[in-house]
Amino acid sequence: MEQRTLGRTGRQVGVVGLGAWQLGADWGEVDEDEALATLRAAVEAGVNFIDTADVYGDGRSERLVGRLLKEHPGLTVATKMGRQVPQEPSAYTLENFRAWNDRSRANLGVDTIDLVQLHCPPTPVYSDDAVFDALDTLVDEGRIAAYGVSVETCEEALTAIARPGVATVQIILNAFRLKPLERVLPAAREAGVGIIARVPLASGLLSGRYGRDTVFAADDHRSFNRHGEAFDVGETFSGVDYETGLEAVARLAPVVPEGMTMAQFALRWVLDQPGVSVVIPGRATRGRRRRTRPRPPWRRCRSRRTPTCGRCTTSCSGRRCITAGERQVRQGAAGGRPGAARPVPLPFAGLLEMHRGLPCAGRDMDGARDDGRLR
């Protein structure tokens, strides 16, 4: 697997890591054997970076990762802290940090944690010098090797990047959430801060496996947090309404290159953005939902030509078809002679067209304009 430097930690990590939220809670039931099998399969596939948090299953995810660490001591593990108490800036103290860190180190079975991140704290925390002095103290005491932040908004990310001790920023980045590309990734690149891209598949929407009749378990956040009932709605389907997300995926499908799945394409697109260090998809567990694979409304071009667009064996879906790794737009009413085709560069042009007019929600959305639409 390709290796990249994880920001100011200086560590080399594989570009695809594993997010371990689902091993703790909020994604339906995952038994211990299946959770450990998921972790081991990831390592066997070349994953050497795992992201967890003390709040995932009240420490269950950390404990499972700790068991894996005993088998594979060379892994890089990042955890997060701060979400087990009421979200008040006054809770972010050195005393609390030490207590939270003691618990995480015990769960993981290590003396020093590779990377500890503040877990989407209240916005004022990012501007509090005392908070970052306390984190520096944890480094000096040997409790942690480095620290970073997990953020909800681009402004929080930019404030954190300006801090000299911040090694990484974790932020939602996927084909539905483009705003970090504008300022956050360039700023992180300039400062040498690593970017950990979370929710890269928009809670599975960008896997292309879901449909309107897909059913999620009652204890899966994709059932109980669709409108932000439990936590920020941006963490569930990236804040995109489920039906709208399905529509967007259908519009994105025609730009997926031959030989790639939708999920592979979505992850590759994130990794192709300059400044991204690692992407952390989770693993979906069988039996938790009824999977659906709707037949896409398009077909790939073949070698035999027909008059439809000059290169396709089918009229595809209205105005789209795929051939030789490029998207063809049949012009007709759009101007140009009927049947003419012009190539549109892959991947960004397709994403921009997909985004036009799609409604979204969430705290800043990291991809929302003031009018509440994806950009």
Active site residues: 56
Separation of alpha carbons 205 and 281, rounded Å:
12
- Dihedral sign for Cα 205, 182, 363, 8, please: positive
Tokens of 304: 């035999």
Strand, coil or helix: 208: coil
Q: Which two tokens stand for residue 43?
A: 């390592």
**Which residue(s) pair with 66 in the sheet?**
none
- Tokens read off for 263: 């999920």
Provide the token pair at 349.
């042009």
Does residue 288 contact residue 205 with C-beta atoms inside 8 Å?
no
Asked if 199 contacts 179 with a C-beta cutoff of 8 angstroms, the reply is no
E strand or H helix at 280? none
Q: What are the CA-CA distances from residue 280 to residues 9, 202, 271, 353 (Å)?
A: 17, 11, 11, 26
* Backbone phi, psi, residue 12, to 5°: -95, 125
As a dihedral over the C-alpha atoms of residue 225, residue 230, residue 234, residue 239, rounded to 10 degrees, the angle is: 30
Instruction: Name the pairing type of β-strands 341-344 and 326-330.
Output: antiparallel
- 89 neighbors 122 (Cβ within 8 angstroms): yes
Look up tokens 């994130």; give the residue: 270
What gap in Å lies between CA 31 and CA 204, rounded to an integer? 20
Are the C-beta atoms of 309 and 330 separated by less than 8 Å? yes
